[in-house]
Structure 1
Amino acid sequence: MTSQTAIVWFRQDLRLHDNPALSLAATAGRILPIYILDDETAGRHRIGGAARWWLHHSLAGLDAALGGGLQLYRGRADEIIADLRERHDTSGVYWNRCYEPWRIKRDSAIKTMLTEKGIPVHSENGSLLWEPWQVLKADGTPYRVFTPFFRKGCLQAPPPRPPVAPPKRLETVTDPDALTLDDLRLLPEIRWDKKLGAHWQVGEAGARAQLERFLDDGLAGYREGRDFPARGNVSRLSPHLHFGEISPHQVWHAVSAGPADPDRDHFRYELGWREFSHSLLYHFPDLPEENLQPSFSAFPWQEDAAALDAWRHGRTGIPIVDAGMRELWQTGYMHNRLRMIVGSFLVKNLLQHWRYGERWFYDCLVDADLANNSAGWQWIAGCGADAAPYFRIFNPVTQGRKFDPDGSYTRRFVPELAALPDKFLFNPWEAPETALQQSGIRLGETYPAPIVDLKASRERALAAFQSMKSES
């Protein structure tokens, strides 16, 4: 083994299995495994509150897996890595690539700085099945429609590589200037995060256990069941994938190991949406801020702080919307069907800009991911790639009855309506006064009256959309 040290920079790859950068570095000799909390360079895209809670526990798990060898830092990554290079006999720096625009810019500058000093940099793909520059149309331009992106681009490209085995042996070194996990101050001062712990097993072991649970209990029936929030047909792997506690290659090959069927095919299709979102962010770096369809710059969004606050806290008076927003607050997660319902309500019934939703989700979701979140909100608003047409306005009453037919999901998160008959669960404002009294409900007191009329707000949204088209 060489006396030199390879720096392994963990980022969104907090695992030992299928970690190409770690495995490559381990063959070079001893390693200095580091994580840098770089809020300064991230700016507005610094990690949100719920995700910081997750990161705290994920780093603890990775540190344990490394035998206590993970070295932690806080500050500008370029300055910290430059300092580490000077204080350690560095043979090279290894990392797995990230794809957010601010990270690409930062990492490129760090790579230039290191190579100018004669330090080799090895960047690997540990986060995507296909690189964004691999999946392009025949004319070399990026796809803006999902189906051809996945079918003609991804599925016609070389298949995802098999997972890389974890290193058989790791010799780690420590740095006296490293911080403790508590020094990173990831946990909130007011410990609202304690409610999250009951819902998740954070870390690489938890990610692999969750994948096994999904394969055993959730994959069968996935194609249909994924739309019903009370069923167990969702993988709940999104935060594990975002933080890299498990890789998409591990998930893809585990799902593909069984016999082909519509459920497995559809789950791979959903992994394709994750790839599509990252491709969009890579090729359109303004995605978190600007409408992908410029015509939406003329859309007459409204400012309504009270309505926005009611939406954020699940007090809109629309039960299925409130259920979704309360699930988000209580668990740091929201079922995908609910993300579409609450998003449609915000940008269409309330005419609030999609960026308000994107930023709230980014702070409250444990799976907050810049690519997925930005692309998802632009899709909901009708201004993104392959977006749902703006005039497709979800009716939350119909959506509740269709996808929560027995009301078990809604009653779980809106317990003040639990005694209401199914007929009025999703539209309590239409319930007879006797039914409300028998259920212990006083609209406007024990549960809010609707903050908007669904029919009138739908017509208002369509008129706003038409006015935008007239001006463009």
Structure 2
Amino acid sequence: MGSSSNKTKTIVWFRRDLRIEDNPALAAAAREGSVFPVFIWCPKEEGQFYPGRVSRWWLKQSLAHLNQSLKSLGAELAFIKSQSTLDALLDCINATQATKVVFNHLYDPVSLVRDHNIKEKLVELGISVQSYNGDLLFEPWEVYDESGNAFTTFEAYWEKCLQMPLEPVSILPPWKLLPAATGAMAKCSINELGLEDESEKPSNALLGRAWSPGWSNADKALTEFIEEHLLDYSNNRLSVGGNNTSLLSPYLHFGELSVRKVFQYARMKQILWTNEGNSGGEQSVTSFIRAIGLREYSRYLCFNFPFTHERPLLNNLKYFPWQPNPAHFKAWRQGRTGYPLVDAGMRELWATGWVHNRIRVIVSCFAVKVLLIPWRWGMKYFWDTLLDADLECDILGWQYISGSVPDGHELERLDCPEVQGSKFDPEGEYVRHWLPELARLSTEWIHHPWDAPESVLKASGVELGLNYPKPIIDIDVAREHLTKAIMKMWELEAASRAAGSNGAANEEVVDNSDRVESMAIPKVVLKGRPPPSCYTNSSNDQRVPSFHIVKNNMANRKRSKSIQEEMPSAANSQNLLKAGILRADEDLCSTAESSAAKKQTTISRNSFYVPDSFSMSTGNTSQCETSDLKRPGQELEQEDMEQPNSSKDGFGNTDFLMHHTTADARVQTQHIFSERGGC
């Protein structure tokens, strides 16, 4: 903590870093002088990724917990509800006469856009702005291949990460905070933020019986997992019943738990068990650390390819003929598909906001491979319903499941829910718990009741088509549909190529995965361009990709049409990132460069229909505008995919759900996202 003679007044802007311990921004502010901690809630900027009920419940509880901790240190957390985050920060600056604003990095496209614009405005006003890494082991721009390009497969990325030096870092919480004096400003209570409606409180009360949000509770959960459950992690997580994963993903998403601390605790156990010759424990730690790697990779992917919430990373997948059937989507959401394991998982999700990672994989595969529902629909639904909804993890998981990333599921692979049920719920206990109408059915038929003799169904009280639905589609028929869809995709891509896309070669790059060397993805250059002279290249500064916009000249019009059709609405702040899909070459730049090179770009409007009335009783559709920054969230497990030729799973791994936290902030369109650190 700085001495009282230090005149620096610093605003600490809390977002998804709701902890005292190992919080770089808070620690830096405490060392320099007086501190004004603030949390700003701006529903308008959340847009289509406004958090769901259970996610908002967790956020409210976590903020209350953080506020008590800050109070005990001497500086109460200020809550502000505003129509503009920038305006709220300016009010804080005026009320406190602060000269500096600090915060910890976020990596989703919307946050990058918002933070960059806020930083530019504050710097123009003479306010110092500094940001820190409080969420990752490695910054996205620090990890690149031998050519200096961003990795596009998890295995190559994580192998490189494990080879990089990682010094143990643990930032101790401040012993005391010197509060900054404030004048008149529009603060509110935590209840006035509106994170919880009166109608939601009865349902939310049940959440409190199962979960304990808050950073100190997160620390207890970590200790319990490491000491009591990590040893059997690899074996226990194969069962979909019970709490057999780490259950740390909500704490990590809201920043109540430092990923560095999680990694270091796990590594210490790994070293101990390795020295003891405990191969089982060593394997469990390896699996768990891999889960951490997938969470890291989700940020890495979204940072370097900020359109991935909206478009597949593999170019050919944009031609896949999805079947946006609202009736099928409704049946999937409600757990009325006629496939017991899928239905049990979806009903648990609706009731609790939580499902096992393997179940997330199973229900997601069913949606995109059996029903051919657009993966963005499922991604958005997970965002609305998951307790630990995480935008970046959600994107990675759904892209993986839909075969939209180089090392994802084989597109033609379709797993049978009946077989998966026998494998992961062999006694049918999970299905019986969540599908009471099947509770009396014997284990022999529990995962395929449609094959059971009529006498067995009658004795069990099961009436197919009445109290439990018949299968929504036969699996063999679904396989035929999937095969035809894949063939159609290749036909459409071939037709597009034949139509002529002059200069397309400049936008394509051979992926570093041998399996998909023909599938083009954008190239992101992370190394090779020196920072500008005005830029202070410190570990505290964040960099962001800058995208070169292709001018709409005659040479480019032929190929730009299909790209423009996928562009999001210019009304969304995410539009900034959209330019990234137009050019293969990308680099990193500073705020100074961004300010000097600020340009306007015209982005064609595009929207897609997502049935967003997700109540269990409706299936209405409404039009949702999208932008290349949209990302939803959830977590799927790494080995949950059980690929024959791959050990990779889909949704960000066994322990980390994918979540989305996008903001629909209205910002002027620019072609550069600059780093958030202070110059």
Q: Of the candidates 58, 62, 65, which is equivalent to residue 58 of structure 1?
A: 62
State the alpha-carbon separation in 2 of the partners of residues 154 and 117 from structure 1. Answer: 39
Is 1:98 paired with 2:106? yes
Is 1:147 paired with 2:155? yes
SS in 2 for 1:30: strand
Q: Cα deviation per residue 1:211-239 (whole Å; 9 max; x = unaligned)?
A: 12212332122223323212543101111
1:204-353 correspondence runs (5 A)? 204-258=215-269, 259=272, 260=274, 261-353=282-374
Name the counterpart of 2:23: 19
Q: CA deviation at 1:3?
A: 4.8
Q: CA deviation at 1:298?
A: 1.5
Q: Of the candidates 471, 487, 498, which is equivalent to residue 450 of structure 1?
A: 471
State the alpha-carbon separation in 2 of the partners of residues 245 and 48 from structure 1. Answer: 19
Aligned residues: 471
Name the counterpart of 1:45: 49
Aligned residue identity for 2:42: D
Q: CA RMSD in A?
A: 1.6
Residue 39 of structure 1 contacts residue 47 of structure 1 at CA under 8 Å; is this kept in 2? Answer: no
Distance change >3 Å, CA 219–CA 231, structure 1 → 2: farther
Is 1:172 paired with 2:193? no
Q: Of the candidates 412, 423, 427, which is equivalent to residue 448 of structure 2?
A: 427
SS in 2 for 1:387: coil
State the alpha-carbon separation in 2 of the partners of residues 55 and 297 from structure 1. Answer: 35
Q: Cα deviation per residue 1:346-381 (whole Å; 9 max; x = unaligned)?
A: 011111100110000011011111110011001101
Residue 243 of structure 2 contacts residue 356 of structure 2 at CA under 8 Å; is this kept in 1? Answer: no
TM-score normalised by L of structure 2? 0.67
**Which segment drifts farther, 100-109 or 410-419?**
410-419
Name the counterpart of 2:169: 162
Is 1:36 paired with 2:45? no
State the alpha-carbon separation in 1 of the partners of residues 204 and 464 from structure 2. Answer: 30
* Structure 2 unmatched ranges of 5 or more: 275-281, 494-679
Structure 1 segments (4+ residues) deviating >4 Å:
173-176
SS in 2 for 1:468: helix
Distance change >3 Å, CA 432–CA 188, structure 1 → 2: farther
- Of structures 1 and 2, the one scoring higher in RCO (CA 8 A, sep 6+) is 2
SS in 1 for 2:101: strand
Name the structure with the higher helix share: 1
Q: CA deviation at 1:174?
A: 6.9
Is 1:181 paired with 2:202? no
Residue 217 of structure 1 contacts residue 232 of structure 1 at CA under 8 Å; is this kept in 2? Answer: no
Q: Report % sequence identity.
A: 39
Distance change >3 Å, CA 160–CA 354, structure 1 → 2: farther
Aligned residue identity for 2:194: R
Q: CA deviation at 1:209?
A: 1.9
**Which segment drifts farther, 342-351 or 439-448?**
439-448
Is 1:193 paired with 2:182? no
TM-score normalised by L of structure 1? 0.96
Is 1:396 paired with 2:396? no
State the alpha-carbon separation in 2 of the partners of residues 188 and 369 from structure 1. Answer: 22
Q: CA deviation at 1:78?
A: 1.0
Residue 221 of structure 1 contacts residue 263 of structure 1 at CA under 8 Å; is this kept in 2? Answer: yes
Aligned residue identity for 2:60: H
CA radius of gyration, larger in: 2
Aligned residue identity for 1:445: L
SS in 1 for 2:445: helix
State the alpha-carbon separation in 2 of the partners of residues 385 and 202 from structure 1. Answer: 36
Q: Cα deviation per residue 1:237-292 (whole Å; 9 max; x = unaligned)?
A: 11110000101111111111212411111110110001111101001111111111
Residue 130 of structure 1 contacts residue 160 of structure 1 at CA under 8 Å; is this kept in 2? Answer: no
* Structure 1 unmatched ranges of 5 or more: none
Residue 239 of structure 2 contacts residue 425 of structure 2 at CA under 8 Å; is this kept in 1? Answer: yes
State the alpha-carbon separation in 2 of the partners of residues 161 and 456 from structure 1. Answer: 54
State the alpha-carbon separation in 2 of the partners of residues 178 and 396 from structure 1. Answer: 51
Aligned residue identity for 1:164: I
Name the counterpart of 2:426: 405
State the alpha-carbon separation in 2 of the partners of residues 217 and 466 from structure 1. Answer: 49
Name the counterpart of 2:480: 459
